Structure 1
């Protein structure tokens, strides 16, 4: 189940961020931004969600900004990797964007997180540009939001 994060989830979210992003430190040469995110502030702002299966196994941070939903970070506990949790979290973000009537999801990843450079296009995201930002070599992606159907006719 995906639910909004609560203050008592903060330690688990930090552990997931540490474990899921640690492999990128040698590639990037420093800690990726999600490892140092202010989890308490994000929980307080209501922008952090967890995949809870008795305990948090993954998290996602996102918020609306302009006409887009900004997908800031996704992390999955290593022991839960390969179970579709990351994809479910991203799908949840996309559904929330549709509920709000936003027109796109925007995100960035580090250029050295090469797995993401193929994963996001596989999920329908299109690279829009690259730039160095806050000292990180970032690759930006967008995906149009699929409008929610308002029809109650099951044949449509």
Structure 2
């Protein structure tokens, strides 16, 4: 089940994101951007959704609608639930939300050192548009037309 996150979910979201992105810490000179986000603000703005399994939050999705696309800002899956289709379900939910909002594409970015993400996003139909440094991170930008 995917639902909008609620204020009481924030501590669990913060822990889940830190656990999900911890494997990248040795590859980077600073924590990944999602580890530094203000999830209380995302929840308050209605941008955060959670996917639950067996009553536990298994994944987190942060979406930011723009004029001409939906930005999939963060997707994070608890290490305990990785490899079970949670990430794919969250990305599919982002696509559904973009369609509901009448937006023609979903965009995302990932850090260059998060190499495992690139084949997954390509498999899900995203194409790389460019690479650039942004906020001190080397990012790979991708899009998927709906």
What's the TM-score bracket when you normalise by the shorter of the two chains? over 0.9
Number of residue pairs matched by the alignment: 145
| Aligned position for 1:48 | 48
* Stretches (4+) displaced over 4 A: none
Structure 1: how far apart are the matches of 2:92 and 2:118? 18
What's the CA shift for 1:118? 1.2
- Is 1:97 paired with 2:98? yes
| Aligned position for 2:29 | 29
User: Which structure 1 segments of 5+ residues have no match?
Assistant: 146-156
Equivalences for residues 3-152 of structure 1 within 5 A: 3-53=3-53, 54-145=55-146
What's the CA shift for 1:25? 1.0
* TM, length-normalised to structure 2: 0.97
User: Which structure 2 segments of 5+ residues have no match?
Assistant: none
Q: Residue by residue, what CA displacement relative to the aligned partner does 1:35-72 show, whole Å, maximum 9, x if unpaired? A: 11100000000000000120211100002101100000
What's the CA shift for 1:103? 0.7
Query: Could you say what the CA RMSD is over the residues aligned between the two structures, in angstroms?
Result: 0.7
